[in-house]
Structure 1
Amino acid sequence: MRYSQALYFFSSLLVAFTISWSATLSPRHASAVLFSQTPIPTSDFVLASQAEQLFNDGYRLHRKGDFQNALSNYEQALSIFRRIGDLSGEGKTLSNIAFVYSNAGHYDQALEHYHLALLTLRKAADQYNQGVVLNNIGAVYLTLGQFDEALDSLEEALTIRLEIHDRLGEGVTLGLFGYVYYNLGQYGEALDYYFQSLSIRREVYDQEGEASTLNKIGLTYWRTGQHERALTNYQQSLELYMTLGYPLEQGVAYNNIGEIYYDLKRYDQALANYQQALAIARRLGVPTIEGTVLNNIGETYREAKQYDVALRYLQQASSILKKSNVRIMEATALNSIGETYSLLGRYSQAQSFYQQALTIRKQVGDRAGEAKTLDNIASAYAESGDQVQAILVYKQAIQLLESIRGDINIDQLKTSFAGRHMLTYSRLIELLQNTGNPHEAFDYNERARARTILDLIGNTKLNVQQDEISVLAQQEKALAQLIFGLQNALKNEQFKPLSQQDSGALNTISDELGRARTEHEELVMQLQIASPEYATLVSVNALSLSEVQNQAIDAQTTLLEYFVMDEHMLAWVIDQDHFDVVDLGITRAELTGQVEFFRNLITDRDFDADTAADLYNTLFVPLKPHIRHSNLVVVPHGVLHYLPFAALWDPETSRYLIEDYTLTYAPSASVLKFILDKRNSNEGRLLALGNPDDSLPQAEAEVKAVAQRYGTRPLLRRQATESQFRSAASQADIIHLAAHAEYNPYNPLYTRIELAPDRQNDGNLEVHEIFGLELTGANLVVLSACETALGEQSSGDELVGLTRAFLYAGAPAVVTTLWSIEDEASAALMASFYGHLRAGMTNAEALRAAQIEVLEQGRWQLAYYWAAFTLTGDWRGSEQ
């Protein structure tokens, strides 16, 4: 486990501290601002001067971390301000008392004092400091994970700051908006707010705020894998901190730049930046950062396979961090040493360090770190030949990981979390398979894949305001947010050196967190009793093998489920009466190369029989002896999400796979069950929109032909608006959209279908908006547009895109495309598809028949013209 997050977290604290204090009172402005709002009688000047001195002394003590004496000074100042009737001074002092409580982790007291401050400042008509307090209330709610409340407070703060033309304050609040959306995993929104904040900070020449904002932009780009952009922003941030003469922030920036180079495997440049950070940390005497950077240097040498050098740095890191009594970071250093010994094959020594790390992580409540160390312990057992013990410990790690994941209430963060820990599942699945436990291997395979979409689709959308369990539901949500906030507060305190930690706060937070988790578990049990339907919103259990056979497939269907690992690939072949598992042998790297080459050939309108046959022989031939039905449901994994199985070529018969089998796709077998439960009666009500910008004449002809089959009027050109779609979609059985689509690789939640704009909507129907639609009456959505099946595939095998969005919105079946289609061929295929559908074929049969008809036409025989169309979900459909 690397230390990058520790320094990013520390950097965020610096920004939050600067934001709150510079927006409240800085040393050079304290006297000028303190009495600017409330007139003070001449007779009270002496008392006012005393209050000012006490306030400033409290400020300085707070900056030094002496919270107790800071509070004492503030309380004395507060008493004087109240005595002389200085409402403005009283309000600002209450605000700073609140900030002390916030820093100490006492968030309830912080919010109580902030709200008192706000009331007082409103009486004083002090709008400037009302904006400050509302901003800081938003920051506390952000820390607690109460994002809706944070956004509400920040909206109020921004309104005031715009009204009084407080440009600096406006920039501060916009930056916090960005940080809220960053924490929500909505990175596109976060960047939008950060860039607005950056523009204002540059305008008012706030170089410190500019530097911190650049750092946050860099972090956001790093999170989304845009390393070069992250690097540019980090370097700009570093240059500003050098200009300002802020050495500590320079050290953090050097570390973050080193982290980018580490990710890019440019180890020499990573080490050069880490060494700069190390020199600064040593010069300033900051052992926590020194230990952090030493660990990162050790990790880098380990990746470069210089194990002896790595151990030297890691042991220094461990020693320094132990002396500093920052236990959570000490555990990370010990874990890193263990990992290095494992790579050297010295498993006994590795286990010794892992056990030390595990003990600390359990003591401090670092559950994610505990799971990581358990994973390492299991791996060491496996490498040393003790498979039984390895399986046992891997199961412990997964149980803990799934518990942590259940506490995360943000969809995109669940996906990210699951992706980071996929290797733990892969290793356990492989061990179970090797030790003769194929059924259990399949169960863990299902638990590993597409869990976020399983949680989403596996529940029924409820109006909890009207449901009898609304009170329990609201309590569950509040407790989940409380747990999130307490975890942040605990980690905030644990990252401090022991001399700066508030033991009382640590104990209080730990006790509250334990009680909250226990209460949450009990509440979920109550929900399961009162409303099993709502309880699935918390987490949906993956199906077992027997449940898949009995609930997810019918008697005429065979399910093929693939699982890609680094060194080989497994495939399960399942029907209602049989279960087989086949090791396909191919490595992840080999498979990725073959799939990418094959796709490039197809999209270049080329065909290579040998390549198509190689993939057929690898992915399908070994399974054929176990396939007993022609109706197949394929559950792809990894790069297979982007493979058109229909175009695989049987060299013996010279036929495509689609010519012999019907094909449907599913995110997982467990998800398939819940998708099929969404099937509705079908009255043939069609909503068809197309050619909204008048650039797709064939798409317009396609939509007209489809609408004619169903006796309805299509919405074309300027009538094909987002507003029309929103108003009519909930009443449709079938939805057909023929329009451009644009995939957003940086934030797939903003992938969009481009409809016509009007006064109500901008025309961009984005993924995050589709999630909010109510399409529970629909049976089929067809997206006849460019690359509509594309999405961002995480390591956790979540595919975030339009398909997933429409499935969640209520549609049990979605037809999409894997690449941009020539619109005349698309129109012909769609006309054939709907003709067969109206004639009584199932969804899968109709799509297969249409694809075969197109490929049999000479000019469109290449796979480019027909193989892109995929059906996900319900292969049968409802009778029309």
Structure 2
Amino acid sequence: MIRSFFIFLFLTTSMGAFSQSLTDSIYNDLDTFIANKPNENSLHALGERALHYTSRVEEKEEKLALVILQCNLAYYHKSFDHHTEAINLYENAYRNYSGNQLIGYDIIEYCLKPLGNLYTIRGDFTNAENTIKQYIFMAGKQGDEPQKIAGIINLSVVYHNTGNYDLAIKILKEAIKNPEIGTEQKNLLENNLTANLIALHKIEEAQKTLSLGQEENNSVEDYKNAAQMAFREQDFDQALHYLEKAGSKLIKSPDFTARQIAKIYVEQSDVYLASEQFQKADSILRAALAILIPVFDGKKGPVEEELYPENTLLDIFDGLAYLATDWQEALKYYDLSFYVSHLLQQPINTQEARIINQRENRKRSEKCIELLYQHYQITGETEILKKAFDYAESSKAVVLKEALNRKSLLKQYPKDSLLIAEKELASKQETTIDLLVRSQLTNSSEETIQAIITELNRINFSLKKVRRSISQKYTEDKIPRFTIEQIQEKLKNEKAGMSFYFYGQDAIYQFIITESLADLKQIPFDNDLKISIQNFIAFFDTPSAINNNINSYKTTAFELYRKLQLDQLNEVENLLIIPDGVLGFIPFEALLTHKTRTNIYKEMPFLMKHSKMFYNTSAAFYMNAQVREKGEKVLGIFPVFEGRKRMLKYSLDEAELMRANPKAQIFVREEATKANFLKQLGQNDILHLSTHASGGNFVVPANIEFIDDVMLVHELYGLSIDPYLVVLSACETGVGKLQKGEGAMSIARAFQYAGVQNLLFSLWQVNDYSTARLMQEFYQSYDKTHSAFVANQQSKWHYLENEEISNPKKSPYYWSAFVYYGVPETVESGNGYFYIIIISTLLSILIIAIALKYKKPKG
């Protein structure tokens, strides 16, 4: 007993001594590093020591010492402009600090604040916002008002960079009222307020906010804002004067970075460019490049191996491309911008932030296509057209492509633990975002919202780590590329032609591709074209818009057909449209192929009568489409919403049609719950949702309704499903907030993101009665052809030819809302199982329909 006591005493004493020794070692290494003037070599060596300590720390004091070491390492990496390394270290430090419930260290000041700022610098705006909001909340709980104000200042920068100027102004003005703010913070608040006012062209108010005092009291930001105001007023000399003052002030500060100096150079180049001093603009951009890339000699452009993720490089390369007199040199610089942009986006894990970052790439793509188009006009070289097509395709639905590519990789390696973990984390991220959106919409408590944000940050750290490992393990995680020749071969096999649109700021570019033709057209964005597009889309806002002005509709429908140059594809049997921008809201089937005098809709020359039409989001989705088992298992969701204002009376007709299929599982009324939908989701070949849906607005995202709940797009993003076909018999399922290059953030896109290849969805608030009729025609045709592509066209044909339907109800508003995105399957012989049942069902429905005049929009 006594011996056992001494052994225990010896062991605990020795462990305590070891713990103290390890803690001391960590602090000693850090002290030595700082004392010996840190450089990149010693920083690397200390990083290796930190990795060594990571696997050894056990006690809380050891773990706290490691957190302090990681934060210091991150600080010095940041000072050397090693932003990726700094972010990873700050993330690890906070994960260790919060996960081990450590105390005794100002984690806001030394970790979360710089981490949020680095996220902003790298364009990871979603994580920047979440991190900053997290430490604002923490500071509030601690009663630390200066730290809370600092968070508001940094949050306003995020809002500024994402174009939310009004929101930035709102929080800044509120913070300025705080009586506890010091002089330095008030100056920072006013500077950020000035910058946002300038962005909104509120120059007079900005001038009142900014007041330059004595030189020693003015900050770098004071001078930069003054330069911006002078620049807006085209006082270029004054703008350059203030920027020189800003540069001088910056150099005198003790901790300025090369990046900050380079940014001032870039702003000076903008002034030189605006004042047409092109030589000076070019020279100062090259000087900025030499600061950021010391090996750059000022003449030949840098190579990719010398580049790193830094957004100032984007400004420099874009500027040099604009100034280049040779189109090939310009493309070379734009390509360097694309490469740096790719490096910047690699660690970004949220859709929202990735989409925001794609906006600038979209603008670059247009500039590259314009350069190539001009050269193509001169030479007609096919290689030029191919290169232009590559730029256009690479800027389309990038975030959606990446998501589907990850799903494809998991299908190839279904047992890979990294890919499985990535899938689970990505799904959890989306469902947590869904929870956050719902909490914000229902005005949940600040504590609840912050708990969700903390969980989101935790998921983000883990997801980044897993995706880094995946990118190191797999080389085939890149989006597959293809050639024009491969597209032509596929189009030949499918007797199809393609009209591929790139919707730019100054023009629409169109690539017309058939088995024997590849051509590039530019459609100038003149006022007539804009009006034609706006007017045509507006015809589908209300059921009566077309009927009230048929002649105007006919004129617009034919004009737009010609302006979109679809007449060049009038020989193709099957027509693939790859729209872009607002063109995605156009029902191309309802365009007219020539002028007509008739006001009888079934006699009008609709494009739908000329070719069988299908759509896709990008050429990649068309080329990489997988052959899938069609099957006959159907899941039908029919909430009906009886007793409510927006009851879907004719949805019951769709449900009855579905019941004819013995392999259909139908949920009607109270059974049409979200839980039943999710439970049966992966067990069916066709999903049919006859319900209400909405494209959302700036506050509420796109959503689809069940009898008991609403499903937002984020919850759909978190799913991983692979049915053969999804039919969205609801309003506005193809409508949502339009994101440049990515398309509408719609319910349809959310299903694509979840893994669905073939979809039938709507572009406006469809009519309940006509939708039920179209769906009946669709499934009758589908039963015979087993082709959703063909069935969609035939349902519209039959609707127009039906003598029981009056001419006003044959307006394109009633039949052209549904568009098919997917592959053009070949027609098969159906077994006719449903045919007799369908005919009898249709006859009874027609008798009822004639007697009833109740017509209600589904939406």
**Same fold (TM > 0.5):** yes
Q: Distance in 1 between matches of 2:76 and 2:207?
A: 39
Match of 1:375 among 292, 308, 318: 318
For 1:840, the equivalent position in structure 2 comes to 785
Q: 1:613·1:648 contact (CA, 8 Å) conserved in 2?
A: no
How far apart are residue 176 of structure 1 and its match? 12
Tell me the amino acid that sits aligned with residue 617 of structure 1: E
Deviation per residue, 1:595-625 (Å, 9 max, x gap): 3333233203312544664464345453423
Q: Distance in 1 between matches of 2:118 and 2:770?
A: 45
Q: Distance in 1 between matches of 2:764 and 2:89?
A: 39
Match of 1:352 among 283, 289, 294: 283
Deviation per residue, 1:212-239 (Å, 9 max, x gap): 5655665665566544333222211222
Tell me the amino acid that sits aligned with residue 620 of structure 2: S
For 2:639, the equivalent position in structure 1 comes to 691
Tell me the amino acid that sits aligned with residue 326 of structure 1: T
How far apart are residue 106 of structure 1 and its match? 6.6
For 1:105, the equivalent position in structure 2 comes to 74
Greater shift after overlay, 353-362 or 206-215?
A: 206-215
Q: Distance in 2 between matches of 1:691 and 1:185?
A: 42
Q: Distance in 1 between matches of 2:491 and 2:343?
A: 26
Q: 1:700·1:716 contact (CA, 8 Å) conserved in 2?
A: no
Does residue 625 of structure 2 align to residue 667 of structure 1? no
Tell me the amino acid that sits aligned with residue 734 of structure 1: I
Q: Distance in 1 between matches of 2:518 and 2:136?
A: 58
For 2:525, the equivalent position in structure 1 comes to 586
Give the alignment of 1:341-740 within 5 angstroms.
341-363=272-294, 365=308, 367-381=310-324, 385-436=325-376, 437-461=384-408, 470=417, 527-528=474-475, 535-536=476-477, 539-551=478-490, 554-587=493-526, 591-605=529-543, 606-607=545-546, 608=549, 609-610=551-552, 613-614=555-556, 616-618=558-560, 620=562, 622-653=565-596, 654-674=604-624, 676-677=625-626, 679-691=627-639, 693-694=641-642, 695=644, 696-698=647-649, 700-711=651-662, 712-740=664-692
Structure 2 unaligned runs (5+)?
A: 1-23, 39-58, 78-83, 295-306, 377-383, 426-463, 597-603, 831-859
Q: 1:836·1:846 contact (CA, 8 Å) conserved in 2?
A: yes
Tell me the amino acid that sits aligned with residue 388 of structure 2: A
Specify whether residues 557 and 463 from structure 1 end up closer, same or farther in structure 2 by C-alpha distance, changes over 3 A only: closer
How far apart are residue 585 of structure 1 and its match? 2.0
How far apart are residue 773 of structure 1 and its match? 2.2
Q: 1:548·1:670 contact (CA, 8 Å) conserved in 2?
A: no
Q: 1:692·1:739 contact (CA, 8 Å) conserved in 2?
A: yes
How far apart are residue 269 of structure 1 and its match? 2.7
Specify whether residues 379 and 784 from structure 1 end up closer, same or farther in structure 2 by C-alpha distance, changes over 3 A only: same
Does residue 186 of structure 2 align to residue 263 of structure 1? no
Q: Distance in 2 between matches of 1:355 and 1:107?
A: 27
Q: What SS class does the counterpart of residue 512 from structure 2 fall into?
A: strand
Tell me the amino acid that sits aligned with residue 489 of structure 2: N
Q: 1:447·1:542 contact (CA, 8 Å) conserved in 2?
A: no
Tell me the amino acid that sits aligned with residue 628 of structure 1: E
How far apart are residue 836 of structure 1 and its match? 1.6
Q: What SS class does the counterpart of residue 258 from structure 1 fall into?
A: helix
Deviation per residue, 1:338-358 (Å, 9 max, x gap): 122222222111111111112
How far apart are residue 568 of structure 1 and its match? 2.3
Q: Distance in 2 between matches of 1:346 and 1:91?
A: 61
For 2:852, the equivalent position in structure 1 comes to none
Give the alignment of 1:845-864 within 5 angstroms.
845-855=790-800, 857=805, 858-864=807-813
For 1:114, the equivalent position in structure 2 comes to none
Tell me the amino acid that sits aligned with residue 269 of structure 1: E
Specify whether residues 779 and 322 from structure 1 end up closer, same or farther in structure 2 by C-alpha distance, changes over 3 A only: same
For 1:755, the equivalent position in structure 2 comes to 706
Q: 1:650·1:656 contact (CA, 8 Å) conserved in 2?
A: yes
For 2:451, the equivalent position in structure 1 comes to none
Tell me the amino acid that sits aligned with residue 632 of structure 1: L
Specify whether residues 198 and 407 from structure 1 end up closer, same or farther in structure 2 by C-alpha distance, changes over 3 A only: closer
Tell me the amino acid that sits aligned with residue 250 of structure 1: K
Q: 2:561·2:593 contact (CA, 8 Å) conserved in 1?
A: no
Specify whether residues 190 and 708 from structure 1 end up closer, same or farther in structure 2 by C-alpha distance, changes over 3 A only: farther
How far apart are residue 636 of structure 1 and its match? 1.3
How far apart are residue 840 of structure 1 and its match? 1.0
Tell me the amino acid that sits aligned with residue 401 of structure 1: S
Q: Distance in 2 between matches of 1:413 and 1:644?
A: 30
Specify whether residues 739 and 439 from structure 1 end up closer, same or farther in structure 2 by C-alpha distance, changes over 3 A only: same
Does residue 254 of structure 2 align to residue 315 of structure 1? no
How far apart are residue 571 of structure 1 and its match? 0.7
For 2:176, the equivalent position in structure 1 comes to 238
Q: Distance in 1 between matches of 2:97 and 2:707?
A: 35
Q: Distance in 1 between matches of 2:190 and 2:282?
A: 33
Q: Distance in 2 between matches of 1:330 and 1:188?
A: 27
Give the alignment of 1:29-68 within 5 angstroms.
none
Q: What SS class does the counterpart of residue 524 from structure 2 fall into?
A: coil
- Residue identity (%): 20
How far apart are residue 774 of structure 1 and its match? 3.0
How far apart are residue 377 of structure 1 and its match? 0.7
Q: 1:184·1:413 contact (CA, 8 Å) conserved in 2?
A: no
Q: 2:575·2:614 contact (CA, 8 Å) conserved in 1?
A: yes
Q: 2:173·2:193 contact (CA, 8 Å) conserved in 1?
A: yes
For 1:869, the equivalent position in structure 2 comes to 818
Q: Distance in 1 between matches of 2:695 and 2:86?
A: 30
Q: Distance in 1 between matches of 2:422 and 2:774?
A: 51
After TM superposition, the score normalised by the length of structure 1 is 0.68
Deviation per residue, 1:564-600 (Å, 9 max, x gap): 233322211112332122222234x764454333323
Q: CA RMSD in A?
A: 4.7
For 1:47, the equivalent position in structure 2 comes to none
Tell me the amino acid that sits aligned with residue 873 of structure 1: G
Specify whether residues 205 and 318 from structure 1 end up closer, same or farther in structure 2 by C-alpha distance, changes over 3 A only: closer
Tell me the amino acid that sits aligned with residue 817 of structure 1: S
For 1:327, the equivalent position in structure 2 comes to 258
For 1:336, the equivalent position in structure 2 comes to 267
Q: What SS class does the counterpart of residue 566 from structure 1 fall into?
A: coil
Tell me the amino acid that sits aligned with residue 248 of structure 1: E
For 2:711, the equivalent position in structure 1 comes to 765
Q: What SS class does the counterpart of residue 791 from structure 1 fall into?
A: coil
Q: 1:582·1:623 contact (CA, 8 Å) conserved in 2?
A: no
Q: What SS class does the counterpart of residue 732 from structure 2 fall into?
A: coil
Q: What SS class does the counterpart of residue 521 from structure 2 fall into?
A: strand
How far apart are residue 394 of structure 1 and its match? 2.5
After TM superposition, the score normalised by the length of structure 2 is 0.70
Does residue 762 of structure 2 align to residue 817 of structure 1? yes
Q: 1:292·1:329 contact (CA, 8 Å) conserved in 2?
A: no
Deviation per residue, 1:3-24 (Å, 9 max, x gap): xxxxxxxxxxxxxxxxxxxxxx
Specify whether residues 208 and 644 from structure 1 end up closer, same or farther in structure 2 by C-alpha distance, changes over 3 A only: farther
Specify whether residues 685 and 307 from structure 1 end up closer, same or farther in structure 2 by C-alpha distance, changes over 3 A only: same
Give the alignment of 1:12-91 within 5 angstroms.
none
Specify whether residues 101 and 693 from structure 1 end up closer, same or farther in structure 2 by C-alpha distance, changes over 3 A only: same
Q: Distance in 2 between matches of 1:335 and 1:182?
A: 19
Tell me the amino acid that sits aligned with residue 824 of structure 1: Y
Q: Distance in 2 between matches of 1:391 and 1:554?
A: 35
Q: 2:561·2:567 contact (CA, 8 Å) conserved in 1?
A: no
How far apart are residue 683 of structure 1 and its match? 1.9
